[in-house]
Amino acid sequence: MGFFHRFTNYARAKGKTTLRLVHKESGDPLKLPKEARLGIYDTRDAMFLPFVEGKDVLELGCGWGYDTFLLSSKAKTVTGIDVNKSAIEKASKRFAYVSNIIFVNDNILSFIDKGKKFDVVVLFESLEHLSYEEQKVLVRKLWQVLNPHGQLFLSTPNGECVPLYRKNPYHKRELSIIELESLLSSHFKIEVIKGQVPIVWFFIPLPWDVIEKIWLFFGIYEKMCKLRNNPINCRTVIIRAVRK
């Protein structure tokens, strides 16, 4: 490993605040600073809100329920599913006052096989945790759980950025944009594809805890997380697709 990589890894390891929470598996968005949460999650969800009004929505891998909560502001109902029992318990207590949300502790595929249909399925940062064969099965299951003309909202890391960004040990297969389009094409028609967070931000070889304070103070998190029409140079790919 070269000097630059050693130095960059050291600098990133010194970060103790926002970025560590953002990239932590099963991290709680409400533990993020408000500015970062608004930039990352609220910006993305705002893209989908017009399409959930009056709809029955299923969020698979809902974690701590923050996206579920955001979508509930427009949806008829939102059902959040996650295998993490502690996260579901926390989400159920935190959003108990929201009458149109249901949280269920279950395996994604097991829940889908129970046969209930939805107008919209949401899959944020989950596809990359599956192998190639598992991803193909899941896409078929997503088609299965949707009503005719139902929609899929999906976000997942851009696999082409892995060598430049970092390899996540929890991810089995991160897909390039071409691979993602190919995976979905048999069951879905992609209506919109965007990107979020340009990868250049992750190359600054300075302690992240210092950088984060600057970013938060000047509102840089909100600016850099605005959706981009060309996702090629972005770390996250965001898709809205329609069931064929």
Report the CATH number at residue 87: 3.40.50.150
Examine the pLDDT at 209 and tell me if it is beyond 70. Answer: no
Alpha carbon distance 98, 66 (integer Å): 12
Closest CA to 78 of 106, 56, 111: 56
Q: Over the stretch 56-93, which tens digit does the pLDDT of each residue have?
A: 999 999 999 999 999 999 999 999 999 999 999 999 99
Q: How far is CA 187 from the centre of its chain?
A: 21
| Whole-number Å distance between alpha carbons of 82 and 105 | 5
| Domain span at 174 | 3-243
pTM: 0.84
The set of residues, in sequence order, having a beta carbon less than 8 Å from that of 175 and lying 6+ positions away, is: 127, 128, 135, 156, 159, 183
Phi, then psi, of 241 in degrees rounded to 5: -130, 155
Number of structural domains (the chain) is: 1
